Amino acid sequence: MAESETLETMQPNPAWDAASYEDAVAALGAESYTFKIWGGDWCGDCRRQLPDFGAALDAAEVPSERIEHYPVEKADDGSKIGPLVDEYDIELIPTVVVELDGEEVARFVEEEPVPIAVFLAEQLA
């Protein structure tokens, strides 16, 4: 298994309001989920979305050992290069894969009409 690194964009947004997302926070912390996050600190979508997701994981009290960061670079052809990119079929970032007991149970890819935490919470419900 590839070693997880750190994405600066996963630093929790201090202005994020957990009270406004109680259901999402509860869902993210409901089980011993592992969160695998592919992103790039250079990526605009990641810089916009991941700090709030980091805050949601923090509010859900998900232990850091269950949050894995996988920094990704972009090749000249636009494809993504980085740890476990091929194994998890990562084409767009940010991508968040949620696993329970080693099985994928939810996935967020790049952009949805709701925040990452809300999207994943709906999939986990």
pLDDT given at position 2: 52
**What span, in angstroms and rounded, lies between the C-alpha atoms of 110 and 21?**
20
**What span, in angstroms and rounded, lies between the C-alpha atoms of 102 and 77?**
31
Contact 84, 70 (CB under 8 A): yes
pLDDT given at position 1: 41
pLDDT given at position 80: 93
Q: Per-residue pLDDT tens for 56-89?
A: 999 999 999 999 999 999 999 988 999 999 999 9
pLDDT given at position 4: 58
DSSP string, 106-121: EEEES--SS-HHHHHH
Which residues does the chain have with pLDDT short of 70? 1-4
3-state secondary structure of 76: coil
